[in-house]
Structure 1
Amino acid sequence: MYIYNVTTNIDESIKNEWLKWMKEKHIPEMLATGKFSNAKMSQVLINEEMGGVTYSVQYTTNSLETLQAYYKEDASKLRKESMKLFKDKFVDFRTELKVISEQFSKHLKN
């Protein structure tokens, strides 16, 4: 299993608009490519010197080949909209992760 992680620092002035767009449009479009099985969005709990609010979205995929297909077939189109809508109000970076193991607590109760 692989994780395609996108970390974004978004200007506080458009945070709510960006979050709505991510939840209602961008993440569903990413999942609709058929290349990711799920997406998890988290807020990064650090105060950036440059200000803004930082979020991480982790998209899970089954193989590096599938991730490469995303880059080739979908990435450019999906990234363009965020550039158009939010221009100079965000910075982001992407990380590819390979899951080595996953363990669950038997003791944690929901």
Structure 2
Amino acid sequence: MLVYNVTSIIEDAAADRWLQWMQESHIPAVMATGKFASHRLLKVVDSPNEGVTYCAQYAVDDMDAYLDYQENFAPALQAEVTLRFENQLVAFRTLMEIID
């Protein structure tokens, strides 16, 4: 099992709007791709960054499903984030393997 992690640092002024959009629109759209088994959204409590930091994590069964998501779904979903929150957030993505 793999975890696709998207860490987003959002300006304070946009954080509430971003969180609502994530919960009501973006996460449901990601899950609707059928590539992920589950998800969770976490808030970083001790972030050294200015703004608010969140991690959206999506569990994926195998590399093929992840690569299919990256090729066929991620570009449009990421473009929407950029369009809605341009210059208000920074995001970085990591893929992790669950060991235990």
The count of residues paired between Structure 1 and Structure 2 equals 100
Secondary structure of 1:87's counterpart equals coil
Normalised TM-score (structure 1): 0.88
- Paired residues for 1:45-84 under 5 Å: 45-49=45-49, 51-84=50-83
Moved over 2 A (4+): none
Letter in 2 for 1:22: M
Q: Unmatched 5+ residue regions in structure 2?
A: none
- CA shift, 1:48, in A, is 2.7
Q: What CA distance in whole angstroms lies between the structure 2 residues aligned with 1:61 and 1:28?
A: 15
Q: What CA distance in whole angstroms lies between the structure 1 residues aligned with 2:97 and 2:47?
A: 27
Secondary structure of 1:48's counterpart equals coil
- Deviation string 1:6-41 (CA, Å, 9 cap, x unpaired) is 000000001110000000000000000000011100
Q: Share of identical aligned residues, percent?
A: 36
Q: Whose radius of gyration is greater, 1 or 2?
A: 1
Q: Unmatched 5+ residue regions in structure 1?
A: 102-110
Letter in 2 for 1:12: D
- CA shift, 1:45, in A, is 1.2
Normalised TM-score (structure 2): 0.96
Q: What CA distance in whole angstroms lies between the structure 2 residues aligned with 1:72 and 1:40?
A: 22
